[in-house]
Structure 1
């Protein structure tokens, strides 16, 4: 029923709107680089990729990993709040943002993502860091903490993937045969907008500028195909019963931050993390969706900083509110 309704809406959209909103064709990389870099932006070659990252602030290193179909810009609020106390390093993951896809890959397995992060940190000379990740970035983060426990001093998981669950509808849909191939040719703005609205608890916080940024960066050459391959990788793993088996092996001090209205990675997944990480601290945010660092940047950054300073963020498990 959902697919039939979506196809009807999509057909109506094709009839009533012009090609500009369909996401057909790619935006020139030079144009996107001009619009979505700043003085803190850097580019680092890692194997066949040139990774876009930003390096801001001074102090202990905090590495930030964004979620699926997002970019390093999701951390703008955190960076503004924390860069006076921390050296903030945030990257565009492979197949995302200005980094773009690895042309040799059809799947983005976790081993590949962990290896690229490790090589990147080696290249820029980071030996010790705290690591925070949202969604897909959280999945990479906890797997990296297992791979390099010597390097990661503290771990923050924000609505992180890690256990078997249903995929968000639009990602599951885009991963289908034929539909996925269509998605590599076009990425309508209304689909991107719908995704963001679904991911937010308070849809009033979704601005036209936010939708434009997300949509523009999907139109980087190669990103649509790369994202479909990411979706297909996630779909293949989403019902893997062993997906989260190694979470209980994590010894790194961990903070779980979660939006209580998250429809993509719900609180039931957070509870699995809490059960497997009995010493983890937990904060949930009432009325917030999948990306607390975007919806509630000041409060979530404050909670993260308190944890990084070694102070108890809350009595696990307790809902927190703030702005």
Structure 2
């Protein structure tokens, strides 16, 4: 009798779990609809040679200094649109959706390591005919940016690290809610199928200094592109990819100019990490923003654009100054 009762309870739980899955499941968005909604007239899709298509944009002044923009984890190239609008008259701005992000979608090979992503960025540069450029990266994109400075220095004019990851310091940041879930065993199972909008909104609110500035359209963009076919599973796979913390010991060997831009209210990657980068890279310059969190290029784009422009201008002056 007890055995029958236990079986009935287990069956009831399975039914309830199945019903909950059907109720809360958030399906993938439609690929064609997303490309129509979030692509623009400059959007291009590059065949990566492995069955994938890398979404990129080449915008701004084609005769100006080139800047390559690398977004962070679970973001997309649209995070740079405010900077493109502010700097486009003077600079050539190249951006891409990394594998597992935006309109690029998952990597057919399943690889999400630094070398694979850097190779994708270099392939975009080759396609648009740019040899050397300033690499600008935020968060995970900042990690890829300084890693590119080590692995492909011949393609780098300078580095701009915006709240970049990868510093090995005692104070750890607090990953936003979505990232914490992706790193848990239950998140690995559920997130590819169940990704409610409030989860994305909560993660964004944890990332910025002034959550009231978040628009519904911005939250929708993050939510819909996270659900672009294959991106959610890619997020789980990427979370399990080794980040090679030992590379931190090489950061002092960077030979190119480095600008560090950091939101003072960043809880994801605290200001102590910026100071660690500044201490490890002797020739670097650090600028902080009192009114920004983890995404200064979206939160306070005018300040970020002004400082990048002034820094590149100062390098140009130094280059022509007599010895």
Give the TM-score, by structure 1 length.
0.85
User: How far did 1:143 drift?
Assistant: 0.8
Q: Deviations over 1:190-243 (max 9, x none)?
A: 11001100000111111111100000101100000011112222xx43xx6524
Q: CA 1:112–1:102 in structure 2 vs 1: closer, same or farther (change >3 Å)?
A: same
Alignment of 1:22-171 (within 5 A): 22=24, 24-48=26-50, 49-58=52-61, 59-105=64-110, 107-164=111-168, 165=172, 168-170=175-177, 171=179
Higher helix share goes to which structure? 2
Q: Distance in 2 between matches of 1:28 and 1:241?
A: 37
Moved more, 160-169 or 243-252: 160-169
Alignment of 1:1-323 (within 5 A): 22=24, 24-48=26-50, 49-58=52-61, 59-105=64-110, 107-164=111-168, 165=172, 168-170=175-177, 171-233=179-241, 236-237=242-243, 242-310=246-314
Q: Distance in 2 between matches of 1:167 and 1:173?
A: 12
Q: CA 1:26–1:150 in structure 2 vs 1: closer, same or farther (change >3 Å)?
A: same
Q: Distance in 1 between matches of 2:250 and 2:114?
A: 13
* Structure 2, unaligned runs of 5 or more: 1-18, 317-323
User: How far did 1:167 drift?
Assistant: 5.7
* Structure 1, unaligned runs of 5 or more: 1-13, 313-323
CA contact (8 A) 2:173 2:267 kept: no
CA contact (8 A) 2:161 2:260 kept: yes
User: RMSD of aligned C-alpha atoms?
Assistant: 2.0
Give the TM-score, by structure 2 length.
0.85
Q: Which has the larger radius of gyration?
A: 2
